[in-house]
A = this chain, B = another copy of it.
Amino acid sequence: MPAGSVSAAPIGVFDSGVGGLTVLKALCAQLPGESFVYLGDTARLPYGTKSAATVTRYSLKAAEALAEYGVKCLVIACNTVSAFALPAIREHSGAVPVVGVIEPGAEAACRASRSGHIAVIATEGTVRRGAYQAAILKLRSHARVSAQPAALLVALAEEGVCNGAIAESIARYYLAPLFREDLPGSPPDTLVLGCTHFPMLADAIRAVLPPQVAVVDSATTTAAQVHSALATAGLLKPAGTAAGAGAPAVRFLATDDAGRFARVGSRFLQRPITSGEVELIDL
């Protein structure tokens, strides 16, 4: 394929469900001239409570499916997949750059933290894997990381209960133990939203945190890394071929229930998705 046609190819974005749409939103904002193929493996979500072997097996199938769309770059917009399966996906993807969300999240956290004590909330799988802990310590070897699984926040975001007393009480349930003043050492000064669902709950989370705590997520930094990976590889879409002033073209693929994907996904992407736009595929 000549270089010109590769740079015109879409960017593949993969998540277990709709959470990765918060990352797609950042990608669309930073790369408005590109087109995207988003795959949500809605038939087999959630990945956050599954074993490493299962997550890796599912993710490789998804990466293969996206490869068939000729993607020029693969964004793993799911923390659990990034934690468990990134090396395996990279190995199987050959020359196509693969960008996960853990390293960008860790980078954003290290940039935001003054004290070096960083809190992370994520799915059970991501926390158990120690993925953020490792990525942060690689960037800042004296950092201290306090990680907490926060499964109910995923369910709240899916259900659309993102603000108000219920969302805040559950945010407090997970965060109060991390930010207790009476623990040894100083409490964290930065919180990483280590699951792509959690930016939906950012207001409720901020409402229960001490005001000096910085809240970071992976989306913006991931989009910046994708931009840089494409620029380095000479794969950015030439300016003249961009779609123009409208929103970038996105093709939505799901493995189950187009209606639910469209309904819940519209909230996550903050623009309407109709169920007719969602193509069902088998993995």
Interface residues, chain A, with chain B CB atoms under 8 Å away: 42-44, 46, 49-51, 54, 124, 151-152, 154-156, 158-159, 161, 165-166, 169-170, 173, 256-257, 260
Partner of A165, one of B42, B151, B156, B169: B169
Cα A161 to Cα B151 with chains together (Å): 11
The answer to whether A260 and B173 touch across the interface, beta carbons within 8 angstroms, is: no
Copies per complex of this chain: 2
Q: Which chain B residue shows the least CB distance to A17? A: B49
Cα A253 to Cα B173 with chains together (Å): 33
Partner of A169, one of B51, B151, B152, B169: B169
Instruction: Quote the shortest CB–CB distance from A155 to chain B (angstroms).
Output: 3
Partner of A256, one of B50, B124, B156, B165: B50
The answer to whether B155 and A50 touch across the interface, beta carbons within 8 angstroms, is: no
A-B contact pairs, 27 of them (CB 8 A): A42-B49, A42-B50, A43-B44, A43-B50, A43-B54, A44-B44, A49-B257, A49-B260, A50-B257, A51-B256, A54-B256, A54-B257, A124-B260, A151-B155, A151-B158, A151-B159, A152-B155, A152-B156, A152-B159, A152-B161, A155-B155, A165-B169, A166-B166, A166-B169, A166-B170, A166-B173, A169-B169
The answer to whether A173 and B151 touch across the interface, beta carbons within 8 angstroms, is: no
Nearest first, the 10 closest Cβ-Cβ pairs linking A and B are A155-B155, A51-B257, A54-B256, A166-B169, A152-B155, A151-B159, A51-B256, A152-B159, A50-B256, A43-B54
Q: Which residues of B contact A49 (CB under 8 A)?
A: 42, 257, 260
Cα A49 to Cα B46 with chains together (Å): 11
Q: Which residues of B contact A260 (CB under 8 A)?
A: 49, 124
